[in-house]
Amino acid sequence: MAKPNHECTLIENGSVILPDRIVPGARVVWRDGRIVEVGRAGRRRPVGARVIDARGGYIAPGFVDVHVHGGGGADFMDGTPEAVRTICATHARHGTTTIFPTTTTGSPEEIHAMIDACRRVRNEATVAGGARIEGVHLYGPFFAPDKVGCHSAAGRRDPTPAEFSRYFSTGLIRIATCAAELPGALPFFRAARRARCFITCGHSNSSWTEMDRAFRAGMRHVDHFWCAMSSVPSIRVRLGTPMQGSMEQYVLLNEGMSTEVIADGQHLAPELLQFAYRMLGPRRLLLVTDASRAVDMKPGRYRFGPEESGTDFDHDGKVGRAPQGGLASSSVGMAHMVRTMQTAAGAPLHDVVRMASLTPAERTGIARETGSLEVGKRADVLVLSPRLRVREVFVGGVAQRR
């Protein structure tokens, strides 16, 4: 974790992005890593403050990514501190200041190695080490057999208390995913709720009824909407007639549910991004990268998941593609998602930034510390160009290497 910056820092000459509006000609001031002022310019500069010129761009909260696998040539499932550091630094360059390293399918030993590596890096006192690790997203291995996607099918299995209780006992799991139709899913969800996790359903072919049971057990979110999830036709194939509601209908009609989209311009067409925004709004819709190790890497063949046992995919310079033709995670950072979502959805910029910052912070229970530019919160701050390119990144007030 970054050491506090004991200097007073002032960013001015920019428009501040708040959760509900944009304030032009404003400034943000922090001291000792905490925001002490957000508002319009005009007051005297604090004595001795380091002054940063936003050059007519935007001053935004740092992004919070709850679903991210890798970047910079590394995958969190490589299970080494070096891989974790590389990924955190890579995503900080794209505006992510808080990250939840996300598991794939894999053996218990591989998952525990990943958790341990994340713990070690989180506890390091580095000055400019990239995005802050807030906790681990236990994503794989509890997927439906027919919805594994680009993850290794060999590492998929049903949840058992003997296995998942060991993950929760580490104290590092903050987000927990399981396909709702699996045997053992309800005990998993209840255990995750006791562990105070944000509980999600993903890589699932579950029906409305199964989703409702999961909701009563604590599940509140669906991973990457329309990707590796059930539909009315898929439920009909699985359960017959009468046709039943799927994950899509359950999320849209249950206001207690949230979901996320991968707005890389490759996974979902613009009309789907616009539909999701209009139906769910910025308080129930999150932006995620679901990024692979291909972020900032040249086109070529890479490994999804552990370097030793994961699956191959091809990065074409825009997105990862599995050898059989399916998509294999994104290969861009969060700033790209923000730009694409604003263009596709036609949403106000403050709503789009909220979906990448405050909304995921609220859902994961960290909004008192980060997610918006507010007095008392950590100085997780971005300077963006007028075209929303990342110019500068501060994690807890510490400038990150660009």
Helices (H), 141-269: 161-169, 185-194, 208-216, 232-239, 247-253
pLDDT at 125: 60
Same domain for 240 and 330: yes
Same domain for 274 and 145: yes
Q: Look at residues 130, 136, 89 and name the one whose alpha carbon lies nearest to residue 111.
A: 136
Structure tokens at 201: 């359903």
Tell me if 380 is assigned to some domain. no
Same domain for 186 and 70: yes
pLDDT at 329: 94
Tell me if 356 is assigned to some domain. yes
**What CATH number does residue 165 fall under?**
3.20.20.140
pTM, two decimals, is 0.96
**Number of domains into which the chain is organized:** 2
Whole-angstrom CA distances from 43 to 17, 104, 156, 171 are: 19, 50, 58, 45
Rg (CA), the chain: 20
Same domain for 335 and 260: yes
pLDDT at 126: 61
Tell me if 378 is assigned to some domain. no
pLDDT at 207: 98
Tell me if 225 is assigned to some domain. yes
Same domain for 138 and 114: yes
pLDDT at 170: 98
Low-confidence stretches of the chain (pLDDT beneath 70): 1-6, 125-128
Same domain for 21 and 138: no
Same domain for 219 and 260: yes
- What angle (nearest 5°) sits at the alpha carbon of residue 334, between those of residues 314 and 149? 40
Same domain for 36 and 162: no
Tell me if 263 is assigned to some domain. yes
Range of the domain at 97: 63-369
The 3-class secondary structure across 365-389, one letter per residue, is CCCCCCCCCCCCCECCEEEECCCCC
